[in-house]
């Protein structure tokens, strides 16, 4: 059965892909990218804080929508076909993160550090979902709820510890582990909460296929508002849902910033509430896509993997060009940042936030025609299986 594409999902995905590119542009080019945490209120400015915080929406919404898309694909594929696709694509994404994204983000051809981050989290979650879809729906939903609502209980076991085995880092604790002869694996995105989030996205799909558009909007709006209320109550009272409480600041505005600063690595319950809540409200209110700007975002949303790879490659090339324009040498580039895997980066070199925004805007404009062309090719060749992996 062929299902009609829901453009509001493509629109939302496209918006978060473009916002994601801003975060990575800041990582490459902002003068203070390696000098401090942009969410640290003792270091940051309101504009820098906002620039970083808005990108919090990207990973959780993308993971959540990946689960939703898996459900929608299941409307036109058999369970066996869907399971095989999710597992194989999940493995593919993990390999891409290990070897391609690690290279593009670090410019380190020696792979002294393998970094597993967004694609790894999506890939392992997708593979697990590919196994879980054989279970009854209530069981799948229950597993997702237990993970998302309960994983912060693990924080109590982690408190005060610094030595974690590899399996724990992969599951729930960000950190690096040695591999062999000076090579390391750094787990940027522990997968357990992301897997729970993808499972819930998958389960949400039933609302899109069993309800009318009007009924769906009411349910999504109620769910979105409920998540924001839950966030507000749990965060302000510090009952549960984040590894650490917020600290009182000198002004009400900075109190608000402190409250909104929640844990992403791995994503806490409150982090997911604060990001998925607005996403559900967006899907509830936006039923039709109209206008030139919206259509541009839809294009990006239909080719997210293509955009993801292209934007990292382009940022890497721009960084190399600007690195040498600033008068640095190849030897300096290969030395990189001491104690870190990044090559062709010098701490203290870079640009102000306004210039970062200009580079980001130029990046998006540059990539749009390539994404549009690829989207047209992909749409015109639905039978080419390899296209579903890129």
User: How does pLDDT run across 264-274, given as a tens digit for each residue?
Assistant: 999 999 999 99
Q: Of the given ranges (174-183, 220-229, 297-306, 323-332), which has the lowest mean pLDDT?
A: 174-183
Query: Helix 292-302 vs helix 353-380: angle between axes, to the nearest 10 degrees?
Result: 70
Tokens (6 digits) for 86: 């999710």
In a domain, 238, yes or no: yes
Query: Does the pLDDT value for residue 322 go beyond 70?
Result: yes
- The answer to whether 31 touches 317, Cβ cutoff 8 Å, is no
Over range 230-245, report the average pLDDT: 94
Enclosing H/E stretch for 185: strand 184-187
Q: Is residue 2 part of a domain?
A: no
Q: How far is CA 283 from the centre of its chain?
A: 18
Instruction: Work out the average pLDDT over 6-34.
Output: 95
pLDDT for 323 beyond 90: yes
pLDDT tens-digit series, residues 355-373: 999 999 999 999 999 999 9
Report the pLDDT value the prediction gives residue 288, as an integer from 0 to 100.
Answer: 80
Q: What is the reported pLDDT for 162?
A: 81
Across 339-365, average pLDDT: 93
Look at residue 1 and tell me whether its pLDDT is greater than 60.
no
For residue 151, the enclosing domain spans 7-389
* Among candidate residues 4, 84, 1, 8, the one with its CA nearest the CA of residue 289: 8
Residue scoring higher pLDDT (159 or 74): 74
E strand or H helix that includes residue 116:
strand 113-116
Does the pLDDT value for residue 218 go beyond 90? yes
Q: pLDDT band for position 299 (50/70/90)?
A: very high
Whole-number average pLDDT of the chain = 94
DSSP 5: P
- Which pLDDT score is estimated for 339? 75
Residues near 116 by beta carbon (within 8 Å), at least 6 away in sequence: 94, 97, 98, 185, 186, 187, 188, 189
Q: Is residue 1 part of a domain?
A: no
- Identify the pLDDT of residue 161: 84
Residue with tokens 């540059």, as numbered in its chain: 366
Burial class (CB in 10 A: 0-12, 13-18, 19+), 253: exposed
* 138 pLDDT more than 60: yes
The confidence score (pLDDT) of residue 4 equals 63
Instruction: Tell me: pLDDT of 338 over 80.
Output: no
Q: Do the domain assignments include residue 112?
A: yes
Q: Is 350 left (phi over 0), alpha (psi -120 to 50) or beta?
A: left
Bridge partners (DSSP) listed for residue 114: 185
- pLDDT above 60 for 2: no
**pLDDT tens-digit profile of 175-197?**
988 888 888 999 999 999 999 99
Compute the half-sphere exposure of residue 268: CA atoms within 13 Å on the CB side of its CA.
20
Q: Which two tokens stand for residue 64?
A: 């959540």
Going by the DSSP 8-state scheme, the letter that residue 183 receives in this structure is: -
Whole-number Å distance between alpha carbons of 164 and 171:
11
Across 231-259, average pLDDT: 94
Identify the pLDDT of residue 289: 82
Nearest residue to 100 (alpha-carbon basis) of 114, 89, 85 = 114
Are 249 and 258 a contacting pair, CB within 8 Å? yes
pLDDT digits over 108-126, tens only?
888 999 999 999 999 999 9
CA distances from 209 to 6, 74, 75, 214, 225 (A): 11, 11, 9, 12, 22
Domain count, the chain: 1
The pLDDT score that the predictor gives to residue 6 is: 86
Return d(Cα 176, Cα 184) in angstroms, integer: 7
Is 103 part of a structural domain of the chain?
yes
């Amino acid at each position: 059965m062929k299902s009609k594409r829901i453009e509001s999902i493509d629109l939302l995905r496209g918006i978060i892909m473009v916002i994601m590119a801003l975060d990575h542009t800041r990582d490459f080019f902002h003068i203070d990218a390696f000098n401090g945490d942009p969410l640290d209120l003792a270091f940051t400015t309101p504009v820098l804080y906002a620039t970083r915080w808005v990108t919090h929406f990207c990973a959780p919404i993308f993971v959540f929508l990946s689960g939703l898309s898996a459900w929608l694909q299941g409307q036109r594929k058999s369970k066996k076909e869907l399971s095989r696709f999710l597992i194989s694509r999940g493995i593919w994404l993990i390999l891409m993160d290990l070897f391609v994204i690690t290279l593009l983000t670090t410019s380190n051809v020696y792979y002294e550090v393998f970094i597993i981050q967004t694609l790894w989290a999506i890939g392992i979650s997708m593979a697990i979902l590919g196994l879980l879809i054989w279970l009854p729906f209530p069981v799948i939903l229950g597993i997702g709820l237990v993970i998302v609502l309960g994983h912060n209980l693990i924080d109590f076991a982690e408190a005060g510890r610094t030595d974690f085995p590899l399996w724990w880092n992969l599951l729930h604790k960000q950190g690096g582990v040695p591999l062999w002869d000076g090579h390391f694996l750094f787990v940027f995105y522990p997968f357990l909460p992301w897997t729970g989030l993808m499972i819930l996205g998958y389960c949400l799909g039933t609302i899109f296929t069993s309800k009318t558009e009007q009924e769906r909007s009411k349910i999504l709006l109620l769910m979105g508002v409920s998540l924001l209320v839950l966030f507000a109550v749990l965060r302000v009272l510090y009952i549960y849902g984040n590894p650490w409480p917020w600290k009182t600041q000198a002004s009400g505005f900075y109190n608000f910033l402190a409250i909104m600063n929640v844990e992403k690595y791995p994503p806490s319950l409150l982090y997911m509430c604060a990001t998925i809540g607005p996403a559900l409200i967006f899907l509830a209110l936006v039923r039709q896509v109209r206008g030139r700007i919206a259509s541009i975002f839809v294009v990006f949303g239909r080719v997210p993997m293509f955009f993801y790879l292209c934007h990292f490659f382009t940022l890497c090339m721009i960084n190399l060009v600007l690195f040498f324009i600033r008068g640095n040498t190849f030897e300096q580039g290969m030395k990189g940042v001491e104690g870190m895997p990044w090559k062709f980066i010098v701490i203290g070199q870079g640009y102000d936030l306004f210039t970062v925004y200009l580079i980001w805007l130029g990046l998006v404009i540059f990539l749009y025609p390539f994404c549009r062309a690829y989207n047209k090719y992909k749409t015109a060749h639905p039978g080419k299986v390899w296209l579903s992996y890129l």
